[in-house]
Amino acid sequence: MAKSIIDVISTQCPLQLKLSVFAWLAFSVLACSGPAKEHPRKKVDRIRAIPGKSDSIPLKVSQTGEVLIGYSDCWTCHKMETLSAGPAFRDIARRYPVQERYINMLAGKVIVGGSGAWGTAVMSPHPDVPFDDARIMVSFILSLRD
């Protein structure tokens, strides 16, 4: 007749082994019982909006920027709403106020590249993009601000 593991332990094992098995079973039951504890993730503000008043962007400039981006390789690393290899265009617009200094700074990053502003993402350089075109492209991106 087949014996259960409990029968074998209770009749053939020394007391120390019995106590160890009992402790392991008790721990297993206690550790696996009860509701699972949720560990809330710490919310990280990856946008880190820069305070400041935003200027307006003329519609014609925004539309031209959208066309220039359409003919570039921007969509390879960026998406409109979601994080990809690079930040979403809307996240960039949420971070930077529409001001000449930020338009110029971001246009420079389009041309020379950069890293560190959005974590580990690396912006590859685009040295063939004229500065004025880069400014218009950035203007379109910043026009997406909420």
Tell me, what CATH number does 133's domain have?
1.10.760.10
Q: What is the pLDDT of residue 45?
A: 76
Q: What is the pLDDT of residue 46?
A: 80
Residue in 106, 128, 124 with CA at minimum distance from that of residue 115 = 124
Name the domain count of the chain.
Answer: 1
Q: What is the pLDDT of residue 40?
A: 73
Domain residue limits at 113: 59-142
Q: Is residue 107 part of a domain?
A: yes
Cβ atoms 103, 142 nearer than 8 A: yes
- Which pTM was predicted? 0.70
Q: Is residue 30 part of a domain?
A: no
Q: Answer whether residue 126 shows pLDDT above 60.
A: yes
Q: Is residue 14 part of a domain?
A: no
Q: Answer whether residue 63 shows pLDDT above 80.
A: yes
Which spans in the chain are helix H? 5-12, 15-32, 59-70, 74-77, 89-95, 100-112, 131-142
